[in-house]
Structure 1
Amino acid sequence: MKNKFLKFGLYSALLGMVLMGFGLLAGRTLNYASQQVLGFVIIITTLVLAIYFGIKKLRDEWHQGYLNFGKAFMYGLLLTFFVGLGIAFMDYIYTQFINPDFYSNYMDYYLETLKNTLSAEEFNIKKAEIEAAPDYQKAAWFMALGMYFATVFWGFFVSLAMAMILKKQKEN
């Protein structure tokens, strides 16, 4: 069963890579606000697909049609880690090789947004904080790590929901 689960986990990571890769490339023509929405939709969609079909397959084919909430939730979380790896990998490839100026371009957009919403004094304080950020925060691996943790965060809630929906106890 471990090999079967690992195989399904790798499929989940591949799904995350494909959908995120599509989103990153398709989203290049969108503004940053739309890119954020698209990224969120892709993360949630990937998690729902991977976790739903993963738990359903585990329940129906490997557990004779029964799976308690705890095991379903655990399987969902494990699949979340795989999805997170796939999404983070594509984020790294994108920010390291395809669009290495992503961070600086995004910061320009973010600062412009702050400039339009904050007072001059508040803006200068925030700008100084951003410029004082350590260099590692600007690195592709750090942005990918952030994407991984964001995926795992949302995966917790998707796993919770899918475990509640897909659990099936044996009748006594």
Structure 2
Amino acid sequence: MKKIIWTCGVFAGLISVTWGVASEALVGDSLSLNTKLFLGYATMILAFSLIFVGVKNYRDTYNNGQITFGKALGIGLLITLIASTVYVVIWLVDFNYFASDYGEKYQAQAVAEMKASGRSAAEIKKQTAETAEMMGTYKSSFPFRVMFTYLEIAPVGIIMSLIAALVLKNKSKTATVNL
């Protein structure tokens, strides 16, 4: 069981982080922030489909085709924890060594998109101040950066774990004897 969890978790983590790293390196700001957000979460959902693979593999290979909701959920959550940790570690390395200007680029693109959409100067100023404050905390506080990054990915894995547990649970049928 450990091999299934670790394999699915590590691969899910690697898949989930590919869009974030690749988009910053290759695409830059040629896509809108909403498009990047959509593609990022789509990649996470794709990555967390490995939860279904892991739970089904465990159920069919090691547990005679049977698994309870709780056991399936536990496997899914462990895969989520490993995948999320891989995602966080890779992003922290990328942010610290290759994308330390991410906050400034994000804010510049957000301002440009707000101006293009016709938002008022007051609204843009307010949003810019809020984003600058959050980015300042993000850059200066390592625990905040770790927590914030986990909060990007872990909820997706938790939801996928719940869905997988509901779909794949398969309790044994008790045999009835006719007398």
Q: Per the shorter chain, which TM-score range?
A: 0.7 to 0.9
Change (3 A) 1:169 1:133: closer
Matches of 1:99 and 1:43 in 2, distance apart?
20
Q: Could you tell me the percent identity over the aligned residues?
A: 22
Matches of 1:163 and 1:48 in 2, distance apart?
12
* Residues 85, 148 of structure 1: 8 Å contact kept: yes
Matches of 1:76 and 1:21 in 2, distance apart?
18
Change (3 A) 1:32 1:147: farther
1:55 paired with 2:55, answer yes
Equivalent in the alignment of 2:162: 160
Cα RMSD (Å): 2.3
Size of the aligned set, in residue pairs, is 167
Matches of 2:168 and 2:108 in 1, distance apart?
45
Q: Which amino acid aligns with 1:19?
A: I
Equivalent in the alignment of 2:173: 171
Cα distance, 1:76 vs. partner? Answer: 1.0
* Residues 91, 144 of structure 1: 8 Å contact kept: no
Matches of 1:92 and 1:64 in 2, distance apart?
41
* Residues 32, 106 of structure 1: 8 Å contact kept: no
Equivalent in the alignment of 2:38: 37
Name the larger-Rg structure: 2
- Deviation string 1:11-64 (CA, Å, 9 cap, x unpaired) is 234213432453234323322534323321221111112x11111122122222
Alignment of 1:1-172 (within 5 A): 4-5=1-2, 7-27=3-23, 28-30=25-27, 31-33=31-33, 34-49=35-50, 51-117=51-117, 118-133=119-134, 135-138=136-139, 141=142, 142-172=144-174
Which one has the bigger helix percentage? 1
Q: Could you tell me the TM-score, scaled by structure 1's length?
A: 0.82
* Residues 107, 128 of structure 2: 8 Å contact kept: no
* Residues 77, 159 of structure 1: 8 Å contact kept: yes
Change (3 A) 1:116 1:143: farther
Which segments of 5 or more consecutive residues in structure 2 lack a partner in the other structure?
Answer: 175-179
* Residues 17, 86 of structure 1: 8 Å contact kept: yes
Q: Could you tell me the TM-score, scaled by structure 2's length?
A: 0.79
Q: Which amino acid aligns with 1:89?
A: V
Which segments of 5 or more consecutive residues in structure 1 lack a partner in the other structure?
Answer: none
Cα distance, 1:84 vs. partner? Answer: 0.7
